[in-house]
């Protein structure tokens, strides 16, 4: 799995004469920084004839830098209350595109350091943003070729150590996998192909891969998920799969993370069919499962000590057909909870509920477990918090401040999140309406026009998975945090054409490794 190789460079001064680089990108708010003194005269002369210098991105020929290509990318002011490290990311994305258009294949990057702890990872964020900008869809790479579509093969980063460069490449490998899985069309990345792509990505790594495809086994162990899959079973290549990923550290385990990922490889809406053009882009409804896989690949590369990680991804197609499940059906979850279907387009929570039930059972035998679910679950999350990951936690997670930690680390790494509280109204909303069921999956209106449309699904997940028996006042509390990436899963919120963002991998990694 290729991506721009990252080379650690001791200093800008030492790299100006390096022949392995062919451009210099400068990200700064002030181009008068002392480290830029070798270029001071060039910058002063350029500023006299080009008003863009310091105000907007500019490129010029300069014999003093590698490849004679100099790209100046101002990051703007950072002293407003609402400024954050994404100013670096935005400038980095623009700059690497200009470098690519100029013909550079190995640019050198210098990032102006800041004293504020909010910008402590500015250089890392800039590199990762460049990788995000350079990524091209898997289908295109397989047809046209990676070297043609992604000609930038190396990035040099000033001021970091070789060890940090290796860590950042491990992180980017995971993010790249997540983008490939999330952003690929529904036949190339069907459920079975999703599983095969994971097997290939993790081959020889520190993560063990188990794939369950036997229909009888899935029907027994994942009954809600298989209701979603029911209409897809008539087409063999559309059959579902559960992908289980396991990382065991060397030595003792002090913490266990258990992750559930929604992998809807295509969502037609089922019997509640998506109409009016709203079905386009639904091959990206697997973004949660893709993020879980990407997180696990990053873990495989970073090999953290003391942390065990177990993940389950439900890869399934919500098809429409004569055998499609319909509203009013009452289905029994893996946890033994009777679920009345309110809307077949609320299928992701059914998949997650069974996954969470399996993880709940395992958590009871693990060391200090924490459970997470990641999904492109509701349009309401995108409506409510825009391009941010929405976090909803149960009582035990709130006591540990899991969402708060994730939000703090997300701010530092340019992967921001918003916290939503789980409230009694959410549980009242999904209460049984008759003796025929224990819980209601959903109402029959779009989440985006439903009050608390991204909070009440978390209540359903708690009830349908059996996690309701593990709240803060129960005998065996289990911290659980739900992450809805419907607003953050693609750049610019364009689910049809936007690049998958690999959110919330950075925030989750940073919060995991900082604890």
Q: For residue range 235-250, list pLDDT tens digits in order.
A: 999 999 999 999 999 9
**CA 273 to CA 324: how far, in whole Å?**
11
Tokens in use for 149?
A: 């579509």
Identify whether 303 is a catalytic site residue.
no
Nearest to 128, CA basis, from 298, 340, 314, 13: 298
**Residue of 317, 349, 398, 452 marked active site:** 349
Sequence-ordered list of residues with C-beta below 8 angstroms from that of 323, at least 6 positions apart, any chain: 230, 231, 233, 234
CA 406 centroid distance within chain: 13
Half-sphere exposure of 172 (CA within 13 A, CB side): 25
Q: Is 13 helix (H, G, I), strand (E, B) or coil?
A: helix
Q: Are strands 69-74 and 23-28 parallel, antiparallel or unpaired?
A: parallel
Cα separation, 397 vs 481, whole angstroms: 6
Q: How far apart are the first and last CA of the chain?
A: 29
Give the residues across from 314 on adjacent strands.
Answer: 242, 262
E-assigned strands of 10-48? 23-28
The string of pLDDT tens digits covering residues 351-401 is 999 999 999 999 999 999 999 999 999 999 999 999 999 999 999 999 999
Query: In this predicted structure, what is the pLDDT of residue 446?
Result: 86
Q: Which helix (H) or strand (E) holds 142?
A: helix 138-144
Would you mind telling me the total number of residues written for the chain in this entry? 515
Digitized pLDDT (tens) for each residue of the chain, 515 residues in all: 557 999 999 999 888 888 899 999 999 998 989 999 999 999 999 899 989 988 999 999 999 999 999 999 999 999 999 999 999 999 999 999 999 999 999 999 999 999 899 999 999 999 999 999 999 999 999 999 999 999 999 999 999 999 999 999 999 999 999 999 999 999 999 999 999 999 999 999 999 999 999 999 999 999 999 999 999 999 999 999 999 999 999 999 999 999 999 999 999 999 999 999 999 999 999 999 999 999 999 999 999 999 999 999 999 999 999 999 999 999 999 999 999 999 999 999 999 999 999 999 999 999 999 999 999 999 999 999 999 999 999 999 999 999 999 999 999 999 999 999 999 999 999 999 999 999 999 999 889 899 999 999 999 999 999 999 999 999 999 999 999 999 999 999 899 999 999 999 999 999 999 86
- Which residues make beta-bridge pairs with 255? 307
CA distance 460 to 449: 18
pLDDT at site 373 = 98
The answer to whether residue 100 is catalytic is: no
d(CA 89, CA 91): 5
State if pTM tops 0.95.
Answer: yes
**What is d(CA 53, CA 461) in angstroms, rounded to the nearest whole number?**
53
Phi-psi region of 29 (alpha: psi -120 to 50; beta: other; left: phi over 0): alpha
Torsional class of 79: left (φ above 0), alpha (ψ -120 to 50), beta (otherwise): alpha
Beta bridge partners of 420: 392
How big is the chain by its Cα radius of gyration, in Å?
A: 24
Listed in sequence order, the residues at least 6 apart from 88 whose beta carbon sits closer than 8 Å to its beta carbon are: 27, 75, 111, 119, 122, 125, 126, 129, 414
CA atoms within 13 A on the CB side of 85: 27
């Amino acid at each position: 799995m290729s991506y721009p190789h990252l080379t650690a460079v001791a200093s800008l001064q030492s790299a100006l004469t390096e022949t392995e680089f062919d451009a210099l990108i400068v990200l700064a708010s002030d181009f008068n920084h002392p480290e830029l003194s070798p270029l001071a005269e060039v910058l002063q002369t350029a500023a006299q004839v080009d008003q863009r210098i310091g105000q907007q991105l500019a490129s010029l020929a300069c014999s003093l830098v590698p490849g004679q290509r100099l790209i100046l990318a101002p990051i703007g002011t950072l002293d407003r209350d609402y400024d954050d490290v994404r100013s670096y990311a935005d400038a980095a994305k623009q700059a690497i595109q200009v470098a690519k258009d100029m013909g550079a294949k190995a640019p050198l990057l210098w990032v102006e350091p800041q004293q504020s702890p909010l910008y402590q990872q500015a250089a890392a964020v800039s590199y990762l943003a460049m990788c995000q900008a350079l990524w091209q869809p898997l289908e295109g790479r397989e047809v046209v070729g990676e070297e043609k579509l992604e000609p930038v093969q190396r990035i040099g980063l000033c001021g970091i150590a070789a060890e940090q460069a290796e860590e950042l490449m491990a992180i980017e490998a995971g993010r790249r996998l997540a983008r490939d899985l999330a952003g690929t069309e529904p036949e190339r990345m069907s459920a079975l192909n999703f599983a095969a792509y994971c097997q290939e990505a993790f081959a020889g790594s520190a993560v063990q891969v188990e794939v369950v495809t036997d229909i009888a086994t899935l029907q027994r162990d994942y009954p809600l998920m298989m209701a979603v899959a029911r209409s897809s079973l008539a087409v063999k290549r559309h059959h579902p799969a559960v992908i289980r990923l396991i990382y065991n550290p060397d030595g003792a385990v002090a913490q266990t993370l258990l992750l559930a990922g929604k992998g809807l490889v295509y969502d037609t809406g089922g019997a509640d069919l998506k109409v009016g053009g709203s079905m386009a882009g639904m091959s990206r409804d697997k973004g949660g499962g893709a993020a879980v896989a990407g997180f696990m690949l990053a873990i495989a590369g970073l090999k953290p000590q003391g942390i065990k990680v177990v993940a389950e991804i439900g890869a399934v197609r919500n098809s429409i057909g004569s055998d499609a499940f319909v509203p009013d059906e009452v289905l029994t979850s893996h946890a033994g909870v009777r679920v009345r279907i309110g809307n077949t387009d609320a299928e992701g929570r059914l998949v997650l509920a069974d996954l969470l039930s399996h993880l709940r059972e395992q958590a009871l035998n693990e060391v200090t477990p924490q459970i997470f679910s990641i999904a492109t679950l509701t349009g309401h999350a995108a409506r409510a918090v825009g391009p941010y990951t929405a976090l909803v936690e149960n009582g035990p997670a709130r006591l540990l401040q899991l969402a708060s930690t994730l939000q703090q680390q997300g701010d530092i790494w340019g992967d921001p999140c918003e916290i939503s509280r789980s409230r009694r109204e959410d549980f009242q909303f999904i209460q049984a309406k008759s003796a025929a069921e224990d819980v209601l999956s959903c109402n029959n209106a779009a989440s985006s026009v439903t009050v608390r449309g991204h909070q009440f699904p978390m209540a359903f997940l708690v009830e349908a998975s059996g996690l309701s028996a593990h709240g803060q006042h129960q005998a065996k509390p289990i911290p659980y945090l739900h992450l809805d990436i419907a607003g953050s899963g693609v750049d610019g919120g364009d689910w049809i054409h936007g690049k998958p963002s690999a959110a919330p991998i950075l925030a989750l990694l940073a919060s995991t490794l900082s604890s």
